[in-house]
Amino acid sequence: MHSWFVLAAVAVCVLFALALLHVAFWGRVYRILPAQDELRFAETKDGWRIAIARRAPRGQARLPPVLLCHGLSANRGNLDFGVERYSISRALSEAGFDCFALDLRGHGGSRRARKGAPRRWTFDTYLKEDIPTALDAPRFQTILVEAPFAMGPGGGAKGIGELPMDGGAPAIAAAIEHAIGVAMGSLPLTPERILAAMQASERTAA
């Protein structure tokens, strides 16, 4: 009986040591961050902020874009591994595919985006919320172009505050044209000018 107890104790110690080595090894490996080209986020309808890591295609681009989704007890690191030679995402990008690796809610870089976002979910939630959100996330690339303006203050500054105001008047003019069938070619769009344009249009038609 004593020998069996010793053997059991030794076996438990060995298993415990192996478990520690396993955690230490994979913990070190997973600390190596993948070299994605871009990390973007998309918010689901129920308030989760989903992380999506992109690897742009190398060489000749191929279709379709690829969305990689990990399993239940993992994160995108399983698919876009920190050790480059083991990364499925990198292999697909080198084959010419625009590749996106997703972190489902509760995994990796995904976080609750607002108060009231659910803390409990099921596999169906991934299918109804997270994956459709990742598929709808816009694919874009930001390119900063410097074009200094010599006449601007501070060595080339440009004003951008007025730009949002530029679209208002044309949008209203387009709505008026859609409603009355007459194009308004000048501002301001006063009731008198609109009435005059309608009367002129009727005279021309007559």
Inside any domain, residue 196: yes
Q: Both 103 and 60 in a single domain?
A: yes
**Is the pLDDT higher at 77 or at 93?**
93
Between helix 191-205 and helix 168-180 the angle, nearest 10°, is 40
Q: Both 51 and 118 in a single domain?
A: yes
The sign one gets for the Cα dihedral 189, 193, 195, 196 is negative
pLDDT of residue 50: 92
| Helices then strands, each counted (H, E), the chain | 7, 5
Inside any domain, residue 131: yes
Q: Tally the domains of the chain.
A: 2
**Is the pLDDT higher at 74 or at 134?**
134
Q: Both 124 and 42 in a single domain?
A: yes
Q: How far is CA 157 from the centre of its chain?
A: 30
Q: Both 175 and 99 in a single domain?
A: no
- Max CA distance (Å), the chain: 115
Pick the closest to residue 105 from 138, 68, 131, 66 (CA basis).
Answer: 131
Question: Could you read off the pLDDT of 144-169 as tens digits, one per residue?
Answer: 777 666 666 666 666 666 666 677 88
Inside any domain, residue 5: no
Q: Both 175 and 98 in a single domain?
A: no
Q: Which of 118, 136, 154 is the last residue of a domain?
A: 136
Inside any domain, residue 52: yes
Q: Both 132 and 177 in a single domain?
A: no
Distance CA 131, CA 27 (A): 27
Pick the closest to residue 71 from 149, 126, 138 (CA basis).
Answer: 126
pLDDT of residue 32: 60
Least confident of 8-17, 128-137, 146-155, 176-185: 146-155
Residue 97: pLDDT band with limits 50, 70, 90: very high
Q: Which of 136, 157, 188 is the last residue of a domain?
A: 136
DSSP code per residue over 115-143: TT--S---HHHIIIIIHHHHHHS------
Domain that holds residue 45: 38-136
**Is the pLDDT higher at 48 or at 150?**
48
pTM for the complete prediction? 0.55
pLDDT of residue 49: 93
The sign one gets for the Cα dihedral 82, 84, 86, 91 is positive
Inside any domain, residue 3: no
Q: Which of 77, 111, 136 is the last residue of a domain?
A: 136
Q: What is the dihedral of CA 194, 200, 202, 206, to 10 degrees?
A: 180
Selection from 18-22, 26-30, 91-95 with the highest mean pLDDT: 91-95
* Matching residue, tokens 């859609």: 178
Residue 48: pLDDT band with limits 50, 70, 90: very high
Inside any domain, residue 142: no
What CATH number should be reported for the domain holding residue 60?
3.40.50.1820
* Distance in Å from the first CA to the final CA of the chain: 115
SS3 34: coil
Residue 5: pLDDT band with limits 50, 70, 90: confident
Residues 118-136 have a mean pLDDT of 89
Q: How far is CA 83 from CA 65, 67, 80, 98, in A?
A: 23, 20, 9, 19
pLDDT of residue 140: 58
Q: Both 71 and 122 in a single domain?
A: yes
Inside any domain, residue 150: no
1 has pLDDT over 60 = no
